[in-house]
Structure 1
Amino acid sequence: MSGEVEVTQVDLNKIRDFVFKETGIFFESKKDYYLKSRIKQRITDTGCKNFMEYFHNLVFGRKDGEAISLIEELTVNETYFFRDFPQLQGFAEKVLPLYLEQKRQENDFSLKIWSAACSTGEEPYTLSIILQEMIEDFDLWNVRIDATDIDRRALRQARLGIYGDRSMKDTPMTYRTKYFDKTSDGWKVLPNVTEYVSFEQLNLVDRVAMRKKRGYDFIFCRNVLIYFNEASRKRVMSYLYDALVSGGYIFLGHSESVGRITAAFVLERKGDFLCYKKP
């Protein structure tokens, strides 16, 4: 294919609307350059002659075909182990102990956590490490960490469980020794971490799939809502609310708040961070 493929503003708007309909993610006009460059890349990669041919392939192709590939091209996967450490520390030291004590009194030793939009896996693996470090009677517990993301490539990386130094930059050396193996390819997560984590592809605005998510004690949905518009945020938060057990907690990114989205959660301050509890 010779020459650069033309992508007009009308074409951009078509893609913007398509992505929003499929994922709930809305790209504002300030992201037009980013959006256009990614679209051009996908047109080139698919061998399409022009935008019209590409868009037809996108809309009418297989459900697991180009639509998923485009979404993967557009989603951001910037993450690392122990990201936003103060919040994780608050979860581990302020929220978790009291919550587990209540479950012990009820003779309930099951613990179910959901890492929504888990990207390449650093967050759910971090949670597995935290639980093992913080729960003295860990062996008595039936722990399950479900990790989901829309991006198949990110999930493949997560299942592989090998990470570079950038992902490990905030990981304490004692944890590196205990939970990772240093290989020629990078830092390999050990089975004592991975055995509690399962990965699944999931679209957070997929109503049918989200209705199957139930019974979670804790949900981590951090740095995700910022990519949705107001209507999509309300929709996703409604699904997440239903997925939590009564008394369960949801943790969002530091720049995210449910205050303007829903009044269903109870806001709690735990030290230097905020979390939201389902009554």
Structure 2
Amino acid sequence: MAAASPRAATEEEFLKLCDFLYRHTGLALTPAKRYYVDRRLAERMEATGAGSFGSYFATLRADVGGEMELLVNSLTVNETYFYREDHQLRCLTSSLLDPVARRKRRGEPIRIWSVPCSTGEEPYSIAIWLLENWPAVDEFEIEILGSDIDTRALAAARDGSYGKRALSRLSPDLVGKYFDPAGEERWQIIEGLRNSIQLTQANLVDGAEMARHGRFDVVFCRNVLIYFDDASRRIAAGNLYDALLPGGYICLGHAESMSRISSLFEVVRTEEAIVYRRPEEKAHD
């Protein structure tokens, strides 16, 4: 006889779950997303054998079997493609990197962070774009990190295998140069490029977890703050500010504005894009 499916969460239980996830991830799951959350919750309750919301929530709070990570993985959306919002990539090589490079001491790396990096299209896009479009690319050690809260997305990024849709913005020449065939209508980033990108887990509202990655010259944090509420956006903005070196830049998604979130950053208007900068530290007399 088949086991009964878990019943739907009550309104009180749904709000309890949303509050718990908000405090741990910053994601603001509103009642408008109730159906989506209920489906993922039912899947996780069934997978863990929980007969009630109470027993599942106890498993979640205790993080038995890494359940917190598994639930977050099921709730995050990871849909992107190579060279997305490429005006910011043009901005990177035309307006941002030369000033960054002038501040560097001999042997000091240029550090670029893609957070969240989803399934890897963004950090790999940055690497390909630099190789193709920044004449000084071979003069500097460049560290590119990709980080995400979703461990499944990170596993896919490490594999670096993509379908036709993800590659649709790349020319056939670039695909042939930086990808190996990997099955029917699948291509895998060449091994040398895969090995050059560091991939780690990071939570934008966890200051300690963000800080352990060090500080960066450029951060790409695109199309995620729109899923946060005002309070968690401010926390994330503070953590991103701390993650930047003085004079460092942050690139947000086209629908996002740091000016509406935090006064910590300077607005920089370039020919290609609007970006935000951590001010330079002033010399003391």
Unaligned runs of 5+ in 1: none
C-alpha root-mean-square deviation of aligned residues, in Å? 1.7
- Report the Cα distance in structure 1 between the residues aligned to 2:11 and 2:54, rounded to whole angstroms: 13
User: Which residue does the alignment assign to 1:263?
Assistant: 263
- Where do residues 127-146 of structure 1 align in structure 2 (5 Å cutoff)? 127-146=126-145
- Report the Cα distance in structure 2 between the residues aligned to 1:214 and 1:81, rounded to whole angstroms: 26
Note if contact 1:215-1:244 (Cα within 8 Å) is conserved in structure 2: yes
- Is 2:52 aligned against 1:53? no
- Where do residues 1-279 of structure 1 align in structure 2 (5 Å cutoff)? 1-3=3-5, 5-62=7-64, 65-100=66-101, 102-103=102-103, 107=106, 110-184=109-183, 186-279=186-279
- Report the Cα distance in structure 2 between the residues aligned to 1:88 and 1:122, rounded to whole angstroms: 13
TM-score, length-normalised on structure 2? 0.91
| Deviation of 1:137 (Å) | 3.7
- Which segment drifts farther, 153-162 or 256-265? 256-265
Note if contact 1:103-1:109 (Cα within 8 Å) is conserved in structure 2: no
- Report the Cα distance in structure 1 between the residues aligned to 2:96 and 2:89, rounded to whole angstroms: 10
- Which segment drifts farther, 161-170 or 191-200? 191-200
- Which segment drifts farther, 79-88 or 130-139? 130-139
- Which segment drifts farther, 111-120 or 179-188? 179-188
Q: What is the identity, as a one-letter code, of the residue corresponding to 2:145? A: D
- Report the Cα distance in structure 2 between the residues aligned to 1:60 and 1:181, rounded to whole angstroms: 43
User: Which residue does the alignment assign to 2:283?
Assistant: none
| Deviation of 1:171 (Å) | 1.5
| Deviation of 1:139 (Å) | 2.6
Q: What is the identity, as a one-letter code, of the residue corresponding to 2:202? A: L
- Report the Cα distance in structure 2 between the residues aligned to 1:160 and 1:23, rounded to whole angstroms: 25
Q: What is the identity, as a one-letter code, of the residue corresponding to 2:83? A: F
- Report the Cα distance in structure 1 between the residues aligned to 2:88 and 2:110, rounded to whole angstroms: 19
- Report the Cα distance in structure 2 between the residues aligned to 1:118 and 1:270, rounded to whole angstroms: 24
SS in 2 for 1:268: strand
Note if contact 1:179-1:192 (Cα within 8 Å) is conserved in structure 2: no
Seen in structure 2, the aligned counterparts of structure 1 residues 5 and 191 have a Cα distance that, compared at 3 Å, is same
Q: What is the identity, as a one-letter code, of the residue corresponding to 2:223? A: N
- Which segment drifts farther, 3-12 or 66-75? 3-12
Q: What is the identity, as a one-letter code, of the residue corresponding to 2:70? A: S
Note if contact 2:144-2:197 (Cα within 8 Å) is conserved in structure 1: yes
Note if contact 2:119-2:157 (Cα within 8 Å) is conserved in structure 1: yes
- Report the Cα distance in structure 2 between the residues aligned to 1:264 and 1:139, rounded to whole angstroms: 33
How far does the alpha carbon of each residue in 1:186-229 deviate from its partner, in whole angstroms, 9 at most, with x for none?
Answer: 11101342232101111121222122233311000001111111
- Report the Cα distance in structure 2 between the residues aligned to 1:277 and 1:196, rounded to whole angstroms: 26
Percent identity, aligned pairs only? Answer: 38
Note if contact 1:117-1:224 (Cα within 8 Å) is conserved in structure 2: yes
Pairs aligned (count)? 276
- Report the Cα distance in structure 2 between the residues aligned to 1:218 and 1:95, rounded to whole angstroms: 8
Note if contact 2:83-2:170 (Cα within 8 Å) is conserved in structure 1: yes
SS in 2 for 1:78: coil
- Report the Cα distance in structure 1 between the residues aligned to 2:165 and 2:17, rounded to whole angstroms: 32
TM-score, length-normalised on structure 1? 0.93
- Report the Cα distance in structure 1 between the residues aligned to 2:94 and 2:138, rounded to whole angstroms: 19
Note if contact 1:218-1:244 (Cα within 8 Å) is conserved in structure 2: yes
